[in-house]
Amino acid sequence: MPNALHSPLSRRGVLAAGGAVGLGVALAACGNGDDKSTEAGGDTKSGPWSFKDDRGETAEAGSVPKKIVAFTGTAAALHDYGIEVKGVFGPTTTKGGEPDIQAGDLDVTKVEILGNVWGEFNVEKYAALAPDLLVTTQWVEGELWYVPEQSKDKILKLAPSVALLAAETTVPKAIQRHADLAESLGADLKAKKVTDAKARFEKAAGRLRAAAKSKPDIKVMIGSASQDLFYVSLAKMSADTLYLQELGVKFVEAKVNAQGFFEELSWENVDKYPADIIMMDNRSSALQPEALTSKPTWARLPAVQAGQVIPRVTEPIYSYDKCAPILEDLADAIEKARKVA
């Protein structure tokens, strides 16, 4: 999954930084059929609300939560179903003030940003929102994504929490769980935008399966770059790449470290694994291909020379709307790819 190059080497810290891993493919079915957002808990049933999350824990409230705070990517998925949040934490805006790629279609000017980078979470601002619910993902058992360990106890005392898996699951399952949560909060899963997005996702899955079957020798490497290291992810560990593997895509099998998500390579050894296509971590925390032109070992890779490098949505927004393009882009790349490794 993701990486956290700036954190001490806790398992989730390394994941969050921008290193190599990968997460599950993005899910987002767009809003309500009439294009009106559903206020969280708007027209849903009155009375007690509960939701059993992927930790096996049940969040409960006296009524449907309306003041929701969520990890940015999770908030973006809920937004695609018409459920709006009050606050977010995690990569939301770039240094230039533009929406981060993980913000999806969120209007970042209309949410309280409690933290924009790893380790940042303003507990005072969170408390001031009087939250009804905290939502995030889980890459590693027992750890809540982008909820700092040092302030976790204070944060979790202020509102019920929900954690949805981003690792050791697949995209369809992750999408369904986000949809389940959105529905419990008032989303209409039968809205035309939602059903159209699902149909597009299923069509894209069929196209990718056919592309992978037609070119079984094409091998894909999942990469992420920092100034000093190149990370190669293991496909089965993240929801997105595990699902791509299930659709028939052949991936490089990295010799991962003890954390199990990826292998760190020096730039001198970046050619360790032959690959025909390279999927590169698209997060703002990772170096992008255009920033790697000064590294001669990168420039010599066959996939780079062949122009067969594509972005990888390392932390997908789990809605059908946001995940369908991931499948379409990889299908297109495989359909056009030459065997170069």
Contact 75, 85 (CB under 8 A): yes
Angle at Cα 230 formed by Cα 227 and Cα 234, nearest 5°? 150
Contact 261, 18 (CB under 8 A): no
C-alpha span between 209 and 214 (Å, rounded) = 9
Angle at Cα 18 formed by Cα 12 and Cα 22, nearest 5°? 70
Task: Give the confidence band of 15 by pLDDT, cuts at 50, 70, 90.
Answer: low
Per the model's pLDDT, the better-predicted residue between 1 and 320 turns out to be 320
Task: Give the confidence band of 45 by pLDDT, cuts at 50, 70, 90.
Answer: low
Task: Give the confidence band of 3 by pLDDT, cuts at 50, 70, 90.
Answer: low
pTM of the model: 0.85
* Separate counts of helices (H) and strands (E) for the chain: 10, 13
The long-range contacts involving 119-128, CB below 8 angstroms and separated by at least 24 positions, are: 119/6, 119/7, 119/148, 120/89, 120/148, 121/89, 121/146, 121/147, 121/148, 121/151, 121/155, 123/151, 123/154, 123/155, 125/87, 126/69, 126/87, 126/155, 126/158, 127/158
Percent of the chain scoring above 70 in pLDDT: 87
Question: 93-103 pLDDT, tens per residue?
Answer: 998 899 999 99
Q: To which residue do tokens 């390394």 refer?
A: 14
Half-sphere exposure of 326 (CA within 13 A, CB side): 31
Task: Give the confidence band of 19 by pLDDT, cuts at 50, 70, 90.
Answer: very low
DSSP state of 88: E
Question: 287-340 pLDDT, tens per residue?
Answer: 999 999 999 999 999 999 999 999 999 999 999 999 999 999 999 999 999 999
Neighbouring residues of 48: CB distance < 8 A, sequence distance ≥ 6? 60, 61, 62, 63
Contact 20, 261 (CB under 8 A): yes
Q: What would the two tokens of residue 64 be? A: 């449907």
Q: Please report the sign of the dihedral spanned by the C-alpha atoms of residue 94, residue 148, residue 228, residue 303.
A: negative
Per the model's pLDDT, the better-predicted residue between 167 and 121 turns out to be 121
Contact 255, 312 (CB under 8 A): no
